[in-house]
Structure 1
Amino acid sequence: MSHANDIYQGVSEQEFAHWKQVAQQVADRLASTLQTRDRANQHPFEEIDWLRQSGLLKLAVPKSLGGGGVDLVQALEISRIISAADGSLGQLIAYHYSNGVWSYILGNRMQWEFIARGIVEHGWFQSSISNPRDPRLKLEWDGDDVLVSGRRTFATGAAVSQVMTIAVWIDDQLVQYQVTADQPGIRFNDDWDNLGQRLTASGTLDFDRVRLRPQDRLTGLEQNPASAVLRNALRNQFSQLIFVHFYLGIAEGALKQAAHYFRTSVRPWPESGVEQALDDPYHRLKAGELASELAAGIALAEKTARTYQAAFHAGNALTEAQWGELALLTDQAKVIANNVALKISHELFELTGGRSTDNRYGLDVYWRNVRTHTLHDPVSYRIREVGDYVLTGKLPTPRVYAPPKKA
């Protein structure tokens, strides 16, 4: 798991300040067009190109390969900045960074560097096709190649990606292949019309005898099977961590927009006895409560990101206890981010009042986005895991999905 000496090592505060400024410029552009794009509900080709042209797609690739060289903590903060402006694009860039982590953990050096160079030299955007609850793909063998057919759901970002990771059950083993998205037999279905996260291209796709070659199979974990389970399980933890960050980013954007509306449009309630809404103590109480809970969520998210990075860099030396402690912290961060994002995106209307529900203000988009994605992975199971530790002292262990039944 040590393919490059400078992988996710980070940049100086001064250099990172520059990248945050770049991210904020892209975020401002996304925010200014959010309502129009959300209502259009189209694949975000143009928006991905904004990320590409800004350099943000290559941000987490090492400098030795021409990338930005940020660490995972810094990459997650960038995803939060984008999420505050547009939850859909925040999810997509977070998934892109996450798939880079997957490529690194799962692939051998040649495979990982192939993807990294594609991101730098060609602006590739990464996606993954790995919903574990989907039925098995139909497999046909042609020598050492396997031809896969079937439908995949929640294929987030696949329609706008240039490279994708495909999870395939072969017998009862989940095997990962990484291919460019222009393979013959891949059809992207324009069928994502959900309540929120409408710009994530998260619909279905169909495989019709798509050829996967032995060299497409990611084999990095096979080089050290003794530590493979724990290192592979780091992928799940990073997935949870990116959820945490873009939930909190959406919450930041929601509270910021609500405060702007409040300052410019809210009038005092007749019974308040004050001349301006700002002097109403109930408004101040609600704003202070939401901002404090958000700050606590961000602090926990940042602590968890630093803990993840330490576990990631431990490589083959990662211990079960270290993994379990990370998983516990990630669970707690997920619970807090889930709850505070739903609370802020819902209760912001108590600050802004009835007139703010006019569709021209678009304040509903934050709740719609958070509510849609927080159903992706039931938070109750993360709470249960934390509670189990509190009552028994048992740390979480890697979760293993059972293979779906054969057709």
Structure 2
Amino acid sequence: MAYDATVSALRDTRRDAPAIEIYAGLSEAEFAEWRSRAESVAAELAATALERDRANQDPFEEIELLRKAGLLGLAVPRALGGAGANLAQALEISRIISAADGSIGQLIAYHYSNGVWSYILGTPEQWQATARGVGEEGWFQGGVSNPRDPKAELEKTANGYLISGRRTFATGASIAQILTVTVWDGEKRVHFQIPPSRKGISFEGDWDNLGQRLTASGSVIFDRVEATDADLLSGLDHYAGDVEQRDGLRVLFSQLIFVNFYLGIAEGALEAASAHVRSHGRPWPESGLERATEDPYHLQLFGRLSAGIAAGVALADKAAALYQAALLAGPALTAQAWGELALVIDQAKVIATKVSLEVTADIYEATGARSTANKYGLDIYWRNVRTHTVHDPVSYRLREIGEFALNQTLPKPRVFTPPAKA
């Protein structure tokens, strides 16, 4: 399919249709079918996860697998060619994929997140055009928005803009069909949506980290890349409510997707460890037991880790429901409700980080020394979680929680100032 070639055509299409219901949600029976579909994809990914992790290639084939299963369009409204799932359902699917392959789980979670960003940042026409590309054409959405990068140069011309600069941590950009690109215009952050095939965009392929190795999170170079007013996402310019608060919802959803794919990786690690103990476990001589699965210390360990994951998932699902309500409330969302949502997402982030690190490290207490052999690949879960959980210090989320616990001060939207030029 000529994905990039259809971007302009979809944008230029004007459809005088009734308001489209976003994130309407699937019935229990409908979602069960999608869950089953995701589990089939996950099984296929899990079978080759270690081999692909070691190869460290851009995951074009893996994204095609998601595309063929229809998972990329899961959260797109039915009227735009998608399945019409709500955000909680989409995030559950991201956990299922993450349990099999943390890298691909991160990618699909980021893809769903970029859909939310399009909805927040774009005009209704811009959002519908991008959503239709995802739903009907199978686009994968990537982003170039690392707020800690030195700012890219934005030059205004008679015909629009020129973007120049090097950006890092551009997850999924090299495998996407549409990019959300954030740059600074003086003291203001501005956002464009452009195809990665546009002249002047190149990818360095330099992502070679400890974990999350298949996320295509390398650097991207912009060399006087042309962008037009049509590419400029201008929804916030026309927003009737608190713009800072609305824009702050993007940051909150980023935190929420982290929560879900961390928990998904933890679920995958616990299941892999359980299977290893059942298949290869040997009772410790002092136990006096015949089977490793009877060891009371193993039972206690697996019980504790399982309970931690369950608590994290319950909090994640609560946060997802609250987030969707806040997103759809529009200008009616109050500062109080925004802060309460942020607090719940902070709590979920803390729990998910703690639990995922505990699970992926502590499973070795039950699987034993032989399980550290590279052929088993149990390290992939810890490597993946450890790599991403240092991207955004959880200490600052704990600080916000503590501010409320001690001083009854709710979180406020976080504002990032322009970083200095390199």
3-state DSSP class of the match of 1:226? coil
3-state DSSP class of the match of 1:255? helix
The separation in 2 between residues aligned to 1:21 and 1:380, in whole angstroms, is 37
The separation in 1 between residues aligned to 2:70 and 2:421, in whole angstroms, is 43
- How far does residue 168 in structure 1 lie from its aligned partner after superposition? 1.0
Mapped pair 1:329 → 2:344: yes
3-state DSSP class of the match of 1:199? coil
Q: How does 1:196-211 map to 2 (within 5 A)?
A: 196-211=211-226
**Which residue does 2:375 correspond to in 1?**
360
1:357-392, Cα deviation, whole Å (9 max, x unpaired): 010100000000000000110000000100011010
1:141-171, Cα deviation, whole Å (9 max, x unpaired): 2214111111000000001001001101011
Mapped pair 1:283 → 2:298: yes
Which residue, 286, 306, 314 being the options, matches 1:299? 314
The separation in 2 between residues aligned to 1:382 and 1:123, in whole angstroms, is 35
**Which residue does 1:73 correspond to in 2?**
88
The separation in 2 between residues aligned to 1:185 and 1:398, in whole angstroms, is 34
| Structure 2: runs of 5 or more not aligned | 1-17
3-state DSSP class of the match of 2:241? helix
| Structure 1: runs of 5 or more not aligned | none
**Which residue does 2:205 correspond to in 1?**
190
1:299-325, Cα deviation, whole Å (9 max, x unpaired): 111111111111111111110000000
In the alignment, is the contact (CA less than 8 A) between 2:154 and 2:184 conserved in 1?
Answer: no
Mapped pair 1:401 → 2:413: no
The separation in 2 between residues aligned to 1:369 and 1:302, in whole angstroms, is 22
Q: Which deviates the most, 54-63 or 218-227?
A: 218-227
Mapped pair 1:314 → 2:332: no
The separation in 2 between residues aligned to 1:144 and 1:385, in whole angstroms, is 44
**Which residue does 1:181 correspond to in 2?**
196
3-state DSSP class of the match of 1:141? strand
The separation in 2 between residues aligned to 1:121 and 1:226, in whole angstroms, is 31
**Which residue does 2:59 correspond to in 1?**
44
Root-mean-square deviation (Å): 1.2
The separation in 2 between residues aligned to 1:329 and 1:243, in whole angstroms, is 14
The separation in 2 between residues aligned to 1:74 and 1:178, in whole angstroms, is 26
3-state DSSP class of the match of 1:314? helix
The separation in 2 between residues aligned to 1:180 and 1:114, in whole angstroms, is 13
The separation in 2 between residues aligned to 1:31 and 1:206, in whole angstroms, is 33
Mapped pair 1:346 → 2:361: yes
The separation in 2 between residues aligned to 1:136 and 1:48, in whole angstroms, is 30
**Which residue does 2:166 correspond to in 1?**
151
Cα separation, partners in 2 of 1:58 and 1:28, compared to 1, 3 Å: same
Whichever residue aligns with residue 336 of structure 2, its letter is A
1:327-374, Cα deviation, whole Å (9 max, x unpaired): 000000000000000000000000100000010100000000000000
**Which residue does 1:28 correspond to in 2?**
43
3-state DSSP class of the match of 1:42? coil
Mapped pair 1:384 → 2:388: no
3-state DSSP class of the match of 1:221? helix
- How far does residue 237 in structure 1 lie from its aligned partner after superposition? 0.6
Mapped pair 1:226 → 2:241: yes
**Which residue does 2:4 correspond to in 1?**
none
- How far does residue 406 in structure 1 lie from its aligned partner after superposition? 4.9
**Which residue does 1:135 correspond to in 2?**
150
The separation in 1 between residues aligned to 2:222 and 2:240, in whole angstroms, is 31
The separation in 1 between residues aligned to 2:73 and 2:115, in whole angstroms, is 10
The separation in 2 between residues aligned to 1:244 and 1:144, in whole angstroms, is 42
3-state DSSP class of the match of 2:180? strand
The separation in 2 between residues aligned to 1:202 and 1:405, in whole angstroms, is 22
The separation in 2 between residues aligned to 1:140 and 1:315, in whole angstroms, is 32
**Which residue does 1:14 correspond to in 2?**
29
The separation in 2 between residues aligned to 1:66 and 1:334, in whole angstroms, is 32
- How far does residue 176 in structure 1 lie from its aligned partner after superposition? 0.5
In the alignment, is the contact (CA less than 8 A) between 2:168 and 2:219 conserved in 1?
Answer: yes
Moved over 3 A (4+): none
Whichever residue aligns with residue 215 of structure 1, its letter is A
The separation in 1 between residues aligned to 2:83 and 2:324, in whole angstroms, is 17
Which residue, 266, 269, 274 being the options, matches 1:251? 266
**TM-score, normalising length from structure 2?**
0.95
- How far does residue 109 in structure 1 lie from its aligned partner after superposition? 1.3
Q: Which deviates the most, 15-24 or 133-142?
A: 133-142
| Pairs aligned (count) | 406
Cα separation, partners in 2 of 1:123 and 1:5, compared to 1, 3 Å: closer
Which residue, 54, 60, 75 being the options, matches 2:75? 60
The separation in 1 between residues aligned to 2:174 and 2:291, in whole angstroms, is 49
Q: How does 1:265-284 map to 2 (within 5 A)?
A: 265-284=280-299
- How far does residue 8 in structure 1 lie from its aligned partner after superposition? 0.3
